[in-house]
Structure 1
Amino acid sequence: MATGKLIVASNRGPYVVRGRSRVRSIGGLVSALEPSLRASGGVWVAWSGGHTTIEGTDDTEAGYRWREVHLSAEEVSGYYHGFANRALWPLCHYFLEKCDFRKDYWETYVRVNRKFAAEIQATLADDDIIWVHDYHLALVPHFLRPVLTHQRLGFFWHIPFPPRDFFQVLPWAGEILRGMLGSDLVGFHSPAYVDNFLSCVQDLPGVRVDRERLRVEYGRRRVLVHAFPVGIDCGYFRALVNRGDVAPAAARLRRVLGVDQLGLAVDRLDYSKGIPERLHALELFWERYPEYQGRVSVIQIAVPSRTQVDAYRTLRRKVEEAVGRVNGRFSDDQWLPVYYFCRAFSQEELAVYYASADVALVTPLRDGLNLVAKEYVASRTDGRGVLVLSRFAGAAEELKEALLVNPYDLDDMVAKIHAAFEMPVAEQMRRMRALQERVRRYDISWWMGSFLGTLLDGQVIRQPRVPAQLSWVVGSKRTGAADRGLEALN
């Protein structure tokens, strides 16, 4: 089948608003999708991250069109800070105690989703491909469905999808599910999330779930539901680490810190990432294994996020108090256990830290996938290094050679941290080879090609290939899936 242009819709997109100016955004989703948008003459529909109204909805500077969805301060408060981040986000990460199911939040969410759908409809032509992203826009497929003719519509949910008993707590669970079922294809990172979603939709009237074929019969339509774990641009991360200035900078960092081994944790400052729990485990590690005092330091990078939400401000205080406690208890004139940075880092800066770290600690309490784990693996050009990975990160289903850990179990955390720093080089290299092969094979091109190919073919593409009809994906030169994975969505 011939295809028209690609239309991408996401909460954040290629531009952000700062004051009265528009600034280009560099993010994983932006870098991954821009070449295909450019090659297909596509359109990106997104909010700019502010609530100012800047003239000019279309922009061709990037080689494709950008249509900004203008949101008022009230809409930003209710849709984004409210329903998306005080209801759906904590619910899907299993934090029911943090949920705030206010009706006015929901009503604003509905209104903003209608705005996105109207903006997409305004640019729609026959045979276009529409790709809607994430929990912010779950109702958009439902609002678009009545106007679609030959177009194909895919939806990708980037965060965990919780079990039925959790999701049913949401007063508008049925509306969210029906919204997503307006798609032709619904994608998740993990088969477990697919199973949770199918368990939820089977309760809807007029729905039949076919688990064997991974599809839902809804009305007169069939909706495919499948797992497509997001990959990274491995070549980009390799190229970063192989730059001439990275190895000297990494050696200089190790020399300045003056330790035998170095651990690294890179997180957005979010309560789902398990930072306080990790710091507690590290405190017990140095307590139980005092021979590592003075020999092992850990760098904790925490990128500020959603600072207008009370829970995030509280978390920052809690993390900073924990860092102070650990350092106050163990540090001396020559050694600091935890180096804490609360700011954003460019991918170029992170390359130095990835190259320096003997152990990466990726231990969220719950995570849709976690691209930091894959970035670390791709960046280890010497074949060494140990990944300690939470069982509750979606990436754990792929990266089984990591040291998998339960971040709620302090004894398990301490044991795995100790095992990581004790692991022989031969064992490190055996595990890392397997991890790197999988990360290379299922990269960002595989993700895009498999999702869009499945959307067009109407059947699941299980092998990592790009279908012929997606000629504007094949051979497109990507700029690199950089700067914090898919943070642009959130």
Structure 2
Amino acid sequence: MSLIIVANRAPFRLTAEGLVPAVGGLATALLPVLEARGGTWVAAAEWGEKGRTAQPRQSAIRLERVFLSEREWQGYYGGFSNRVLWPLCHYFLDKIELRREYFQDYLRVNRRFAEAVVRIYRQGDTVFVQDYHLLLLPGLLRERIRGPLGFFFHIPWPSSGVFRILPWGRALVAGVLGADLVGFHTWEYAENFLRTAAHYGFPVEGNRVRIGERTVRVEVHPLGIDTHRFHELSQSPEVGAHARSLRRLAGVDRLILGVDRLDYTKGIRERLLAYERFLQAYPHWRGRVAFFQIATPSRTQVAAYRELKRQVDEVVGRILGSFLREDWVPLRYFYQTYTQEELSAFYRAADVALITPLRDGMNLVALEYVYTSSEGVLVLSNLAGAAEYLKEALLVNPYDLDGMAAALDRALRMPQGERRERLLALKARIQVLDAQSWADRFLSSLEAG
């Protein structure tokens, strides 16, 4: 008996020596479990990746690719996944593009994934399907396999009223209910799913949903970070030296940090506007504080993301135009990708992390900052899944500019003793959410039945 992980992306990157493990996210959580059990990771290969069939080096893991045409990739991933499901689940209803051809491509690709899984499946194998790209897959597999089948949804499941906007809503919920166990990061998301299932006529009792003769369990299993890895980074002399150089670059008493993909769900523009409000409302901090915002390029082919970059660039320019002095740079904007080690240096350098997504499934950056920092303060959006667990953070409404500005002032003035007390409590909570424990907990529950 082995484990089959199914996800849109492969957990490896291609190098001159072959495929090597990626760092962070699902790869960190699932690769050690897959390595220990032996098994296969099934992932899409974009139309531009044809011919890349290398296997991971020195690993018991097999990589199975589902090769897609350009049309399939653009419709399934660029279309239905990112222009329909992503904005819907994050409550950005004005960005949804309800095009039937997107759903047809999504269905076609989910069927292609099902064929790939059935081809390698052996009686008794456990199948674990990941995320919003593959909502139909559990239902397609249930028709053809009988072993343990789990599904995890890594972004927010929206309210029933919002989900019902989708013409294909019932088919998607029925697809998810092909699993034996469905997992979410928070009870809010799980309860939203249960209400959605009930709306479509599936009987719900407690955390169980009946579909035909089967009962599907719905559970909460919050995903965290690789705590061992980030503890090492918090102690690394090289990371410490880089952090000190960043402090010198800032040239001020206090450093605020934001780290995100450049995505409209992350609230970067609103955060910059809040920092602008902070400098206006608390002028005594001018010349004493700086803000470093890292924005990793994301989905640059999508018009909404290009427009977001234009808006963010405009706010950055206005802040610098209003407050820049010869002896003080109030804001530095880094539009680039960093390694985990480089990000950890930013974490260690910052006195305050301002992590304020407008909606987020969990937000692992908040956890990474806390676990790497020695006495920093986390200011966190109350609309991030992590807010349900990180109660010692300063929680803010990411739409409330005045509230975020006030939280920044409070964080920067917080006494050292309170900072350390809050940080220790947060580290203890994050230790419980360790990424590899997440995978073990979910799979143990799935296989126990």
The answer, yes or no, to whether TM exceeds 0.5 is: yes
Task: Report 1 or 2 for greater relative contact order, CA contacts < 8 Å, sequence distance ≥ 6.
Answer: 1
Of 179, 187, 203 in structure 2, the residue corresponding to residue 208 of structure 1 is 203
Q: Is 1:423 aligned with 2:431?
A: no
In structure 2, what residue type is equivalent to 1:54?
G
2:108 aligned partner: 111
Aligned positions, number: 448
Aligned mates of 2:276, 2:52 — CA distance in 1: 53
Shift of 1:15: 3.8
2:443 aligned partner: 452
Shift of 1:23: 7.3
The answer (yes or no) to whether the contact 1:266–1:302 under 8 Å persists in 2 is yes
Shift of 1:210: 1.1
Of 185, 192, 208 in structure 1, the residue corresponding to residue 188 of structure 2 is 192
The answer (yes or no) to whether the contact 2:160–2:199 under 8 Å persists in 1 is no
> Which SS does the other structure have where 2:43 is aligned?
strand
> Which SS does the other structure have where 2:428 is aligned?
helix
1:248 aligned partner: 241
Shift of 1:410: 1.4
> Which SS does the other structure have where 1:154 is aligned?
strand
Give CA deviations for 1:30-82 in whole Å, capped at 9, x if unaligned.
Answer: 23222221222210000134534216476665331000110111011100000
Aligned mates of 2:236, 2:24 — CA distance in 1: 21
* Mapping 1:291-302, distance limit 5 Å: 291-302=284-295
The answer (yes or no) to whether the contact 2:356–2:380 under 8 Å persists in 1 is yes
Q: Which runs of 4+ in 1 moved over 3 A?
A: 15-18, 21-27, 48-52, 55-62
* Mapping 1:70-469, distance limit 5 Å: 70-149=67-146, 151-205=147-201, 207-211=202-206, 214-380=207-373, 382=374, 384-458=375-449
Aligned mates of 1:401, 1:415 — CA distance in 2: 17
The answer (yes or no) to whether the contact 1:93–1:272 under 8 Å persists in 2 is yes
Aligned mates of 1:98, 1:171 — CA distance in 2: 16
Aligned mates of 1:236, 1:316 — CA distance in 2: 32
Aligned mates of 1:347, 1:59 — CA distance in 2: 21
Give CA deviations for 1:346-365 in whole Å, capped at 9, x if unaligned.
Answer: 00101111100000001000
The answer (yes or no) to whether the contact 1:57–1:68 under 8 Å persists in 2 is no
Shift of 1:256: 2.7
Aligned mates of 1:58, 1:144 — CA distance in 2: 25
Aligned mates of 2:47, 2:412 — CA distance in 1: 44
Aligned mates of 1:425, 1:24 — CA distance in 2: 39
Aligned mates of 1:364, 1:293 — CA distance in 2: 25
Give CA deviations for 1:427-473 in whole Å, capped at 9, x if unaligned.
Answer: 11111111010101221132112111110112xxxxxxxxxxxxxxx
Shift of 1:204: 2.4
Aligned mates of 2:31, 2:343 — CA distance in 1: 23
Give CA deviations for 1:258-287 in whole Å, capped at 9, x if unaligned.
Answer: 100001000010000001100001001001
The answer (yes or no) to whether the contact 1:16–1:48 under 8 Å persists in 2 is no
The answer (yes or no) to whether the contact 1:15–1:48 under 8 Å persists in 2 is no
The answer (yes or no) to whether the contact 1:359–1:387 under 8 Å persists in 2 is yes
Aligned mates of 2:302, 2:13 — CA distance in 1: 20
Shift of 1:232: 0.8
The answer (yes or no) to whether the contact 1:59–1:67 under 8 Å persists in 2 is no
Structure 2: which 5+ runs fail to align? none
> Which SS does the other structure have where 2:199 is aligned?
coil
In structure 1, what residue type is equivalent to 2:411?
A
Q: Is 1:62 aligned with 2:59?
A: yes
Give CA deviations for 1:230-263 in whole Å, capped at 9, x if unaligned.
Answer: 0111110010121121222212221232100001
The answer (yes or no) to whether the contact 2:30–2:436 under 8 Å persists in 1 is no
Aligned mates of 1:25, 1:371 — CA distance in 2: 16
Give CA deviations for 1:109-135 in whole Å, capped at 9, x if unaligned.
Answer: 000000111111111011111110000
More helix by share: 2
Task: Say if 1:146 and 1:38 are closer, same or farther in 2 by CA, change over 3 A.
Answer: same
Aligned mates of 1:275, 1:58 — CA distance in 2: 38
In structure 1, what residue type is equivalent to 2:368?
E
Aligned mates of 1:194, 1:25 — CA distance in 2: 29
Identity of aligned residues (%): 48
Aligned mates of 1:243, 1:81 — CA distance in 2: 39
